[in-house]
A and B are shown apart, each in its own frame.
Chain A
Amino acid sequence: AQSVTQLGSHVSVSEGALVLLRCNYSSSVPPYLFWYVQYPNQGLQLLLKYTTGATLVKGINGFEAEFKKSETSFHLTKPSAHMSDAAEYFCAVSGYNQGGKLIFGQGTELSVKP
């Protein structure tokens, strides 16, 4: 079975500050990990993914995440927050030979203060 836990349903940062959104996963098979962003009244947009290879992955809009197997974590970071980063962020996991179903965390709403 697979599951995802996102620590903190709401995170608030100042513009220009570091963004850190936490994600821990549980998986009985090697995981594939994803971060998606959802803006109001829109669908989910893929930020980045880890499937195999380099454990530090870079995504769109300056975001990156590091897969740490020993910590079962895939935290999302951005060095400097921008007002346009305010949105809801979802971490998701899928697994090899389980079709393509994504198991999502509960989401973290990011607020950016001017």
Chain B
Amino acid sequence: DSGVTQTPKHLITATGQRVTLRCSPRSGDLSVYWYQQSLDQGLQFLIQYYNGEERAKGNILERFSAQQFPDLHSELNLSSLELGDSALYFCASSTGQGGNQPQHFGDGTRLSIL
């Protein structure tokens, strides 16, 4: 058990809809990261928050947004969903914000778009 909790585990919805994925980091971790894993793109970094502030951004679509709340949990919002958004979305957390920090991953949310 990594200590990172993601909900829900599975999500099935339709094109055009909006969903929210939730992540609770390990106790004491201030950084939260979001990654997308798909068969064609592999594991892609989306965004990082550190103590409530955006710290780094990857190839995150404009239809996607995230935030980290004062209690350090994070939410990833996906809107105007397309078939290609079907993927496994991982949240990870680390103590600090630097690249040398080991990241601890949750078990992911599997998003299926019908």
Contacts and interface: CB of A to CB of B under 8 A. Distances in A.
Interface in A11-54: 32, 34, 36, 41-46, 49, 51-52
Interface string B97-108: 111111111111
A100 B107 contact: no
B18 interface: no
A46 B92 CA distance: 11
Interface residues of B, number: 30
Interface in B57-114: 58, 90, 92, 94, 96-108
Contacts, number: 74
A90 interface: yes
A94 interface: yes
Interface string B32-66: 01010000001111001010000110100000000
A100 B105 contact: no
A100 B101 contact: yes
Interface residues of A, number: 27
Nearest to A46: B102
Nearest to A96: B99
A89 B35 CA distance: 16
Contact of B90 (A32, A43, A97): A43
A95 B99 CA distance: 5
Interface in A72-108: 90, 94-107
A42 B100 contact: no
Interface of A: 32, 34, 36, 41-46, 49, 51-52, 90, 94-107
Interface of B: 2, 4, 31, 33, 35, 42-45, 48, 50, 55-56, 58, 90, 92, 94, 96-108
